Structure 1
Amino acid sequence: MLWGVSGPLFLLDYLAAVAGALVVALAIRSLTGWRTRGEPPSTVELAYLNDRAGLACQVGLAALHRVGAVRRGELSTLSVDGPPPPGSAPLVRALHAALRRPQTWAAALADPAVARALRRMVGRLVRDGWLLTPAQRRRMAVGTLPLFGVAAVGVTRLVDSAVEGRTAGGPASVAGLLLCCLATALAGWWLCEVPEIGVVARRLLRRQRRAHAELAPERRPAWSERGTDELLTAMALFGPRPLLAVDPRLAELVGVDADRTRPAAQAPAGRR
């Protein structure tokens, strides 16, 4: 099978096999996690889908800050004074309970009640299909195996031809096959990096970012004129930078890096 065709014809067959394997991998990737159920994610849950637990907790603290409940203390500690906002998400209430006594942000994140709230939130997102289960992620990874199989066939032809003295075609065919094998292996490796969120969740984040484009950091919204919901939505969709504009010292205490969160259009010329 490997040696019964000429170099150019084998290369065409190889490209057809790559196309088929790529279609299989992309189809599995697109169809895994395409259906959800239950209520749409809340703002805190959107933050988790966007950038996991760290951003979700920062959004929760911003909710407490907007009602004036957060106090900064000595030695980089935080505490709360007053009740949480009415109808707060469980994670916000857990953060409020953890900060009833002054402690650092790292200690608050390690609080058992906060960890339980995060686990329950993740369980709800997995149950409703917004986050992928381990089995779904394995299925997506397995879907890339045909790409590696096709690449192995091409490498086998090249190596066996070199060892056994058989012809794999002219220099152009050999170089083309070598490049195609490399590209196929790289595509398989790239597709092996399976996302934690399903395709519906990714589409939801894109829709929400388009719908709230005016809240993007590069638009420089005037947060003094914006409501709490808009601030929390901006953080959930675009990252924690809005908290820097509202309270830079608090943002620094909860790990918001001004340089890393700077919009690309505003970054210094020497940075990437």
Structure 2
Amino acid sequence: MLWGVSGPLFLLDYVAAVAGALAVALSIRSLTGWRTRGEPLTTVELAYLTDRAGLACQVGMGALRRAGAVRRGELSTLSVEGPPPAGSAPLVRALHAALRRPQTWAAVLADPAVGRALRRLVGRLVRDGWLLTPAQRRRIAIGTLPLFAVAAVGVTRLVDSAVEGRNAGGPASVAGLLLCCLATALTGWWLCEVPETGAAARRLLRRQRRVHAELNPERRPAWSERGTDELLTGMALFGPRPLLAVDPRFAELVGVDAELTRPAAPAPARRR
């Protein structure tokens, strides 16, 4: 019977059970989507892994803008001014085709050809293991069930002790078990939020951000001295702020919010 042990001993057993359940959940999360195959990722695909379709399209538009293939029009519209760069990704070509007539950014995103290019991009990322399949996401979610089971055991002991008058331990043991149950349930709830990207994708993004740390907007790089490849890589890894730095009016036309991407103000220096 679970309640035949003292409060401190039960609490130690409970913590050990939580550690085991947490190890199971984290192992499943870290191993799902570990392997990938196929060709190396393009900058647009890397942007999709970072912040999904919106950032992928903004990186594509950044590539067209830097190649002189698009221009700003009247009434917040965009239109083509030249051919797309040679060897452009399918999404970039779809964006270029959507702008053969002047369009707003919202109309470009709603264009059927752009939608098809995005679906093909996602299909390739799923097929090659960068994005998780529904079955893999369910597996990660199911991996959190042991945490909720352990939390339920702890809550059951507390409730049973209160209702039946059994001794669950001293006040310290009861308070500790209550806090552990709450922490276990909150951890399980947090881990229930399953990422769309696999372990390999998350590992790749971390590695690329370390390799290209000098492109992090928080370091305020001089974008005027950087080439197109560095600009697009910085956008793909860290968000659209680089485009806002080099071409703010165009960036706003393609949905870059200047307030949301504003860098954090540096902390004031302490007086000595």
Q: Say yes or no: TM over 0.5.
A: yes
**1:218 has 2:218 as partner:** yes
1:258 CA displacement:
1.5
Cross-structure match for 1:130: 130
RMSD of aligned alpha carbons: 1.2
CA distance in 1 between counterparts of 2:245 and 2:155 reads 55
Distance in 1 of aligned mates of 2:186 and 2:168: 22
State the one-letter code of the partner of 1:172.
A
Deviations 1:223-262 (A, max 9, x none): 2222111111010001000111111111111111122112
1:115 to partner: Cα distance: 0.3
Report the CA distance between 1:146 and its aligned residue: 0.3
Q: Distance in 2 between matches of 1:166 and 1:74?
A: 77
Q: Which moved more, 1:259-268 or 1:178-187?
A: 259-268
Of 256-265 and 114-123, deviating more is 256-265
1:94 partner amino acid: A
Q: Cα deviations across residues 56-87 of structure 1 (Å, max 9, x unaligned)?
A: 00000000000111111121111111100000
Supply the distance in 1 between the matched residues of 2:245 and 2:106 (Cα, whole angstroms).
22
Q: CA-to-partner distance for each residue in 1:132-181, whole Å, 9 max, x for gaps? A: 11110110000000000000000001011111111111111100100000
Correspondence for 1:242: 242
1:84 match: 84
Inter-partner Cα distance in structure 1 for 2:224 and 2:97: 28
Further displaced range: 222-231 or 55-64: 222-231
Counterpart residue type for residue 262 of structure 2: R
Q: Offset of 1:266 from its aligned partner?
A: 4.9
Give how far 1:265 is off. 4.5
**Mapped partners of 1:267, 1:190: distance in 2:** 30
Distance, in Å, in 2 between the alignment partners of 1:53 and 1:136 is: 21
Q: Which amino acid aligns with 1:151?
A: A
Q: Distance in 2 between matches of 1:225 and 1:266?
A: 24
Determine the structure 2 residue equivalent to 1:75: 75
Residues 230 and 262 of structure 1: CA distance in aligned 2, closer, same or farther (over 3 Å): same
TM-score (norm 1): 0.96
Matches within 5 A, 1:1-272: 1-266=1-266
The answer for unaligned runs of 5 or more in structure 2 is: none
In 2, Cα distance between equivalents of 1:153 and 1:225? 60
How many pairs does the alignment contain? 268
Query: Percent of aligned pairs with the same residue?
Result: 89
Mapped to 1, the partners of 2:192 and 2:265 lie a distance apart of 31
- Residues of 2 paired with 1:70 and 1:16: CA distance? 60
Q: Could you give the per-residue CA deviations for residues 25-52 of structure 1, whole angstroms, max 9, x where no partner exists? A: 0111111000000112110000000000
In the TM superposition, residue 218 of structure 1 has moved relative to its aligned partner by 2.1
Q: Are the equivalent residues in 2 in contact too, given 1:55–1:239 (CA < 8 A)? A: yes
1:196 partner SS: coil
20-29 or 220-229, which deviates more: 220-229
SS in 2 for 1:71: strand
Q: 1:14 offset after TM fit, Å?
A: 0.7
Q: Which moved further from structure 2: 176-185 or 221-230?
A: 221-230
Compute the displacement of 1:4 (Å).
1.1
Secondary structure of the residue aligned to 1:79 is strand
Retained in 2: the 8 A contact 1:218–1:265? no
Q: Which amino acid aligns with 1:154?
A: G
What letter matches 1:120 in structure 2?
R
SS in 2 for 1:264: coil
Distance, in Å, in 1 between the alignment partners of 2:184 and 2:222 is 48
